Structure 1
Amino acid sequence: MLYLFGGGFVGGIGVGHWWLIGRVADVVGRVEVPLYGLAPDFHHDDALSFLVAVYDRLMTERPGVPVVVMADSSGGALAVLLTQAVRGRGMAAPIRLILLCPWLDLSLSNPGIGRVARRDPWLSRGGAGKGGTGVGT
């Protein structure tokens, strides 16, 4: 499994992420957690190039072993981009994407956001619009 953490592209991996990853690892075994570069020092293209290289290494190290990608929040956007990128390069795509509250509308323009904001434990319009995860806002 490959886990891509969220944090609004600016926040690093947190204690809550490690707790969740630990529980997942208890079930699935190996979980690879690449620590990709964050804004403002890095652009999303840098993160994507890094993640494609990590994915390629996983596929090379364990040929024939399928990869599941799990991600939360902004990591969900990266998971979708990663899947598109590897398919575009003719590589085998992940067999499954598990996206937890993925931040897929980076413009925050979907009119339905307000209806689900009260139930979303990871992301809110207020926090995300300020470049953070929005947890607790």
Structure 2
Amino acid sequence: MTADLDYARITRRIVQLMAALAFAGALIFFLVKGLAGTLSFLGGAAISSLSFWLLHRMVTDVTRVVEGETVHKASLFVHAFRMIILGGAAYAIVKTYGSFVPAVACGLTLAVTAATLEVLIELLYARA
């Protein structure tokens, strides 16, 4: 079953879905809250995208270690402190810039929403 999965294609589609959702969310928050809402949403979306990228790198690094290759020590540091880094970025966006918190929160769900949509797409293709 997993032999049929093309992880590069799945990752590429998740990134495309994240871009489409970011555009749609930015447009919606622009219509609802203007430029401040848009920037707040895009700040949350940027943190979510960074989180997805760091998780993807972590999986790649773990795969490399399992295959006997070495990884950079800096990568291990970033993986260990990923949540602190992302939490710090979210705190800075909300507190420093006085962002619209609901828009930031919606932006933070970007990667999870895109991954969920990708799962649904894969399930629909599997049935076809």
Q: With structure 1 as the length reference, what TM-score do the two structures score?
A: 0.29
Name the one with the larger helix percent: 2
Which of the two has higher C-alpha Rg? 2
Bigger RCO of structures 1 and 2 (CA < 8 A, at least 6 apart): 2
Name the one with the larger strand percent: 1
Q: With structure 2 as the length reference, what TM-score do the two structures score?
A: 0.30
